[in-house]
Amino acid sequence: MSHAHPTTPAFKSNAHDALANANLQTALRNARGHFVDKRTAAAARVDTFEQIRDAGREMKNHTLAHLDLYLEEYEARVTAAGGHVHWAETAEDARRIVLEICRSVDAKTVNKGKTMISEECGINDHLAANGITPVETDLGEYIIQLRHEAPSHIIAPAVHVTVPEIEAAFRKAHSHLPPDRDLSDNATLQMEARRILREKYFQAEVGITGANMLIAETGQSVIVTNEGNGDLSQSLPRVHIVMASLEKLVPTLDDASTVLRLLARSATGQDMSVYTTFSSGPRRTQDPDGPEEYHVVLLDNGRSNMVGTEFQEMLRCIRCGACMNHCPVYQAVGGHAYGWVYPGPMGAVLTPSLIGVEEGGQLPNASTFCGRCESVCPMKIPLPKMMRHWREREFEKRLTPSAARYGIALWAFFARRPALYRFGTRLGMKALRRMAGGRGRLASLPLGGGWTGQRDFPAPQGKTFMDQWKEKRG
């Protein structure tokens, strides 16, 4: 699956395939409790977790209200430290800028620490098409690169893959492996990937990383990893490119610490990630190591259009993935079903913002509005409310399927006329009861195949309540 070509409108058939994929279902079941239980425990270890969430929300709201000022300050700091800030309005701009930087140093290999923005921009395909080899250094990303797949989760990119599938991918790619070598558990797989990636670290001319935050006060970019691959990807090559979207900005170092206190706890249930790296530009003359050039590609790609709209609050997202870890729809179908870079509830809001509701409209509909995502979102983003706003936009644009439109119109016609409604429900319930014939349930229902395909439909008990009440009370 290539993220350059969204399969978002095919969510339903993607979901159908996902539900029928036994390996995927095993992987999703294995991941399920893990993230949920660990987050609950991590949040409980901090007495003030709710207050930190509120502080994070307020800080981000303040930043978004003054985004222009903080972006200016950030750029000035980066420039003063000897780095370069490149403004990319679109994904295409970002691809062009990254390629130009790579060409300027005649790069053959580019190492990458995990970055969703590079997925959003399709950097890997673009580099490969221009003769430059991108190498993913995050273990999960490395696995899916070998499998020619996109990430299915924003922090656990290979959460959809089982251990036997990883073993198969490694044996295919690492053709030197003796067939009798045991690769049946996580540890041996990790050692094998590590051995290969260690060599790659010294080959790359350019390292691309994402940024969990950009700090206006200091001009620093911050990345968190558990493998240290981000550090090696950015400090060993001659050139470090940070790819970040503009809402990653926070005003101060203190604010960055607020986000760090929320991020790992919400994401993996760790108090902190293993590595938290602050980058302050290229190496200075007295520094023993570090890149000679430091570039930040600051991507907008539609985000500034969200400012001032009912979707602005989405820009508080710190990409922890808690919403998808807790979403029963994501848990059932996995991330690839969503058909673009950002899956789960946050993707259901963000994707239509970035690629249009015409393309991404399935996603905000694929929710029961159970609200679990909002209840665990560290930044308290009202995700269901914003999905509803997308449904509203769809309805206004007449993109809602006509069966649903007519259904609502018909139902509303009766709902607004209580007497007629009583008459209709009386007849309807009588008919259903007759069809059930005393069995209490219906195994099939005209026009109700969606329900009765895999569930019985409970029959009405008897006369409607309103009829019974009228008889009783007159």
Nearest to 197 by CA among 236, 168, 243, 224: 236
47: Cβ–Cβ under 8 A, 6 or more apart, which residues? none
- Give me the least distance between CB of 375 and another protein, in Å please: 6
**Which residues on neighbouring strands pair with residue 208, listed in sequence order?**
112, 241
H-assigned helices in 202-307: 229-235, 253-267
Six-digit token string for 169? 């991918």
- Give me the least distance between CB of 392 and another protein, in Å please: 4
- Give me the least distance between CB of 442 and another protein, in Å please: 9
- Give me the least distance between CB of 160 and another protein, in Å please: 15
Characterize the bridge pairing of strands 275-279 and 457-458: unpaired
Spatial separation of the C-alpha atoms in residues 7 and 189, rounded to whole Å: 31
- Give me the least distance between CB of 256 and another protein, in Å please: 30
The residue (of 195 and 455) whose beta carbon lies closer to another protein is: 455
The residue (of 94 and 333) whose beta carbon lies closer to another protein is: 333
Which helix (H) or strand (E) segment holds residue 127: the answer is: helix 123-129
The residue (of 27 and 169) whose beta carbon lies closer to another protein is: 27
Q: Site residues (CB under 8 A) for another protein?
A: 12, 15-16, 19, 328-329, 332-333, 365-372, 374-375, 385, 388, 390-396, 400, 404-405, 408-409, 411-412, 414-416, 418, 421, 425, 428-429, 438-441, 443, 448-451, 453-466, 468-469, 473
Nearest to 299 by CA among 236, 255, 239, 341: 341
- Give me the least distance between CB of 105 and another protein, in Å please: 48
Question: Do residues 93 and 99 touch, judged by C-beta distance below 8 A?
Answer: no
The residue (of 202 and 411) whose beta carbon lies closer to another protein is: 411
The residue (of 90 and 368) whose beta carbon lies closer to another protein is: 368
- Give me the least distance between CB of 337 and another protein, in Å please: 9
The residue (of 108 and 441) whose beta carbon lies closer to another protein is: 441
29-32: long-range contacts (C-beta < 8 A, 24 or more apart)? 30/162, 31/156, 31/159, 31/325, 32/331
The residue (of 109 and 362) whose beta carbon lies closer to another protein is: 362
Please give the C-alpha separations between residue 370 and each of 102, 326, 441, in angstroms, as whole numbers. Answer: 46, 10, 26
